[in-house]
Amino acid sequence: MNLAVIPARGGSKRIRRKNILPFAGKPMLAHAIEGARRSGLFGRIVVSTDDAEIAAIARAWGAEVPFLRPAELADDHAGTAEVIAHAVTTLAQAGASFDAVCCIYPAVPLLRSEDLAAALAMLAPGCAEYVFPVAAYPAAIQRALRRRDDGRTVPFHPEYSQCRSQDLEPAFHDAGQFYWAAPGTWARCLPVHANARTLVLPAWRVVDIDTPDDWVRAEALYRALGGATASDPASDPASADLPPAGLVAAQIAAQTTAGAATRARSRLPA
């Protein structure tokens, strides 16, 4: 039996309460839960959270919340491996055992069952400790620019500034969707990126949602790829009271702007 663990803390900073904000008519977290269930790969789907409201929403959408995550694993410095290790260890102490464990991030409305299955098939003993999806950067990272306060730019790597982009080695980034590993791998808290094989996803269906711009782009991609329109209510009647997605994006942008203004004021002399 395989286990899905969805880490969904309550203290998201860049987009406040991101994990339960409405996206396409249902809480964001519901997309991860439904994606895990739809894949048919998991005997149990567990949400690891420190937050009572998130726990209640997770249960309402069919996930288990058999424990609340301790505060030391719910701050800005807690690592994913440590959080999943805690979940695996806690469940093992209750007598559960699993063949493979998949960490699925909570903000993954573009998650696909076939990607979960393809990555699991790559988790062969002796090949790699983890498997996770990546996407190619849309531009050559060797030609990235640093922008100064006056608006002028300088190359991060001047030695590549005259190179044609097609002559440069492609680079990839973590898709920010999920990670497969054996229970023992999670228990050892090995660094993921240095001990993994990767599944390449097309960049046009990958969004790591951290900013208001990411949220808007995710909504656009969700609609374009055949998801429910942003203003459609979900089939679950509990979602009928959720605000339209466009309003959510505006609220996110407003809270981000307000937070930036507060931080700026805090740097002013008294």
Residues 139, 166 contacting (CB under 8 angstroms): no
Each residue of 137-162: pLDDT tens digit? 999 999 999 999 999 999 999 999 99
| Residue 51: closest CA among 66, 69, 73, 39 | 69
Q: Which residues pair with 47 in a beta bridge?
A: 6
Whether 188 has a pLDDT exceeding 80, the answer reads yes
Q: How far is Cα 227 from Cα 130, in angstroms, rounded to an integer?
A: 29
The whole-number pLDDT of residue 75 equals: 82
Local confidence band at 232 (pLDDT 50, 70, 90 cut-offs): very low
Query: Does the pLDDT value for residue 237 go beyond 90?
Result: no
Going by pLDDT thresholds of 50, 70 and 90, the confidence category of residue 243 is: very low
For residues 83 and 59, what is the distance between their CA atoms, to the nearest angstrom?
19
* pLDDT tens digits, 15-42: 878 999 999 999 999 999 999 999 999 9
pLDDT confidence of residue 123: 94
Residue 241 pLDDT > 60, yes or no? no
Provide, rounded to the nearest whole percent, the portion of the chain with pLDDT above 90. 71
Q: Which two tokens stand for residue 249?
A: 């994006």
Do 15 and 211 contact (CB within 8 A), yes or no?
yes
Return the percentage of the chain with pLDDT > 70, whole number.
Answer: 84
b vs e for 253-266, b when ≥16 Cβ sit within 10 Å of the residue's Cβ? beebeeeeeeeeee
State the Cα–Cα distance between residues 99 and 101, nearest whole angstrom: 7
Hey, what amino acid is at 258? A
Residue 86 has pLDDT above 70, yes or no: yes
Split at pLDDT 50, 70, 90, the class of 126 is confident
